[in-house]
Amino acid sequence: MKKELPIMIFHKDNQDYYGGDQDWFPDEWARRAGCASVCAADMACFYEHKLDISYPDFLELMTKMFKLNTPGIMGFPYFYKFAKNFKKYMKHIGLNVEPIYQKITESPEQGVHFVKTAIDQGHPIGMLILTHEAQILEEETWHWMCITGYEETASDTSIIFSSCGERVCVGASTLFNKSHKNIVKLVTFD
């Protein structure tokens, strides 16, 4: 079974982007540390039903989100602050949402349950990976991404997410593997 929420697809520079990319920021610091802003912009477009948003308008939204989620020297690893700022932005545009958190994933099954529940109810998920021992996730550490779906197979459930404008699929048994080295935090909104 596969369930995937729609996300913006941008056609830019002869390639397709699945959601936004922090490399689009004109500012170098934002390009290096603006992933929370991109994740928030991806989620905001979903909740605002703006999946056909133009590239210039999306870049403007990313910039607004960057002002809300301004990274410090360590980037923006602030899980609860991200949720508070997103809720504040949603309220500002007339939408009331409440965060639902999964700060610690005890097992792949628990992670899959959280993802499936949110996606099945039509809610994207903000995912922050601080550290992870899996080689496949090396580029995704200390990084915010937007989970948009899942696909169940006989052996595992793949988690589908947007990272730097790419559609990425990683098995839940890898992503949510319980280890003191794996710090994966999830937040969705209802």
Q: Chain centroid to CA 189: how far?
A: 12
pLDDT at 84: 97
Query: Which residue is associated with the tokens 């056909």?
Result: 52
CB neighbours of residue 72 within 10 Å:
9
179-to-7, 98, 134, 141, 174 alpha-carbon distances in Å: 31, 29, 10, 15, 10
In terms of C-beta density within 10 A (0-12 exposed, 13-18 middle, 19 or more buried), how is residue 154 classed?
A: exposed
- Element of type H or E holding 166: strand 166-171
pLDDT at 52: 94
Query: Domains of the chain, with CATH numbers?
Result: 20-92 (no CATH), 99-189 (3.90.70.10)
Q: Chain centroid to CA 73: how far?
A: 21
- Taking only the tens of pLDDT, the chain with its 190 residues reads 999 999 999 999 899 999 999 999 999 999 999 999 999 999 999 999 999 999 999 999 999 999 999 999 999 999 999 999 999 999 999 999 999 999 988 899 999 999 999 999 999 999 999 999 999 999 999 999 999 999 999 999 999 999 999 999 999 999 999 999 999 999 999 9
pLDDT at 16: 95
Q: What is the pTM assigned to this prediction?
A: 0.96
pLDDT at 156: 96
Rounded CA gap, 119 and 181, in Å?
Answer: 26
pLDDT at 120: 97
CA angle 69, 6, 168 (to 5 degrees): 70
